Amino acid sequence: MNRKEIYKKHSKTDKYKATQKKYRDSPKGQMNSKIRKWKHRGLIAINYKLIYDKWYYSSHCDNCKCEYSKDNVKCMDHDHDTGLFRNILCNICNLNLNSDNTSGIPNISWNKHDNNWEYCRKIKGKRHRKYSKDLEWLKNYKKEYELKHIYTN
Ligand SMILES: [Zn+2]
């Protein structure tokens, strides 16, 4: 057996799965998983661990100073053009700062120039846009699009 085959056999064992789960649930595993998600969303940082620490210990929104809750969760705010980290915000502030006249739905905002709702999302490096006057239709479109392109491979 070569290394690849050994790995393949090994990766299916319960012992290996348990070790993986233990790692994922550990503070280091949690941190790395979070950082991986941020990188995937385009966040660029010189020191990701430093930002993670700031994120981890942040209990109040940098903008409105409210305490995070289940309904108003902690969000990572970054500049969508440069990818650079800006703030740690509550969900409400994050939505409002990133768009004018927010729909309350992430990635859907009112486009003043076109007089339309605009859905804009960058997935795997590709930017996708869709416009509609019908917000409900666009919400459904977003759901289907993301199901197809994010949650499946
Ligand atoms: Zn806030």
Domains and CATH numbers, the chain: 99-153 (1.20.5)
pLDDT value at 101 more than 70:
no
Question: What share of the chain has pLDDT > 70, as a percent?
Answer: 93
26 vs 105: which has the higher pLDDT: 26
> From ligand 1's centre to the CA of 122, what distance in Å?
24
Tell me how far the alpha carbon of residue 93 lies from the centroid of ligand 1, in angstroms: 4
How many angstroms separate the alpha carbon of residue 15 from the centre of ligand 1?
43
pLDDT at 100: 54
- pLDDT of the residue at 153: 47
Determine contact, residues 119/138, Cβ cutoff 8 Å: yes
Q: At what angle do helices 48-57 and 27-40 cross, to 10 degrees?
A: 110
Instruction: Give the chain's mean pLDDT.
Output: 85
Is 80 exposed, middle or buried (CB count within 10 Å of its CB: 0-12, 13-18, 19+)?
A: middle
Provide the percentage of residues in the chain whose pLDDT is more than 90. 37
Mean pLDDT over 27-55 rounds to 92
Calculate how far, in angstroms, residue 92's C-alpha sits from the geometric centre of ligand 1.
Answer: 6
Please state, in angstroms and rounded to a whole number, the distance separating the CA atoms of residues 41 and 80. Answer: 9
What's the CA gap between 140 and 66, in Å, rounded? 31
β partners of residue 118: 109, 131
Distance 75 CA to ligand 1 centre (A): 9
